[in-house]
Amino acid sequence: MTSNINIAVFISGGGTNLAALIEGQDKNVFKGKIKLVLSNKKSAYGLVRAQNAGIKNIVEKDNEKILKILQDENIDLIVLAGYLKILPDFIIKNFENRIINIHPSLIPSFCGDGFYGIKVHEKVIESGVKLTGATTHFVTAETDMGPIIMQEAVKVNFEDSPEVLQKRVLKVEHRILVESVRLFCQGSLKVIENRVKIER
């Protein structure tokens, strides 16, 4: 894919990953255009970020309407940037290997149903592991189990609170999410069975 990629970013909250993507777009890091920001919550601050950046933003909960919006806007790539809602199979099938999610742990640890937001970091600290991190992956029907694109580790300090750890992991999230989108837009991601080969 060498032409401009139309991107839809899905959010449910503050949109810091969205902010990183907008910055990446402004700096021409990737050959893509964020055409649409969609949220399932009216209160999501990420909608304000989109508005400030001049990006079309929509609040919609109905999945059938969401699919039609994506088709009408000619979306090539969906990025789930803190979208706290499970996508239905019919959207996933329509966008097979074209939905990227960011998760705040090293999948397959601390992921799946119930593992989102601050809860992930609470469980990481409770477990006593010394490393956590962030993962980008393609979305499949099984939550957080799609082919992994990128991972980066973060040290867990004994003194960390979940909030402190979350901030440290967020920096990694921003970096690998923008890089994953860049690789997608230049056609460098090849899915082979349940693995992703990066062809740089």
Write out pLDDT tens, residues 17-42.
999 999 999 999 999 999 999 999 99
pLDDT band at residue 2 using 50, 70 and 90 as cut-offs: very low
Mean pLDDT, to the nearest integer, of 2-31? 92
Mean confidence (pLDDT) of the chain: 95
Range of the domain at 145: 5-198
Kindly report, residue by residue over 80-117, the tens digit of the pLDDT.
999 988 899 999 999 999 999 999 999 999 998 888 88
87 is in an annotated binding site: yes
Q: How far apart, in whole angstroms, are the C-alpha atoms of residue 94 and residue 90?
A: 6
Active site residue 103: yes
Does residue 1 surpass a pLDDT of 50? Answer: no
Residue 160: closest CA among 109, 119, 121, 103 = 121
pTM for the model = 0.94
State the catalytic residue, choosing from 103, 121, 137, 174.
103
What length is written for the chain? 200
Number of structural domains in the chain: 1
17 is in an annotated binding site: yes
CATH number at residue 190: 3.40.50.170
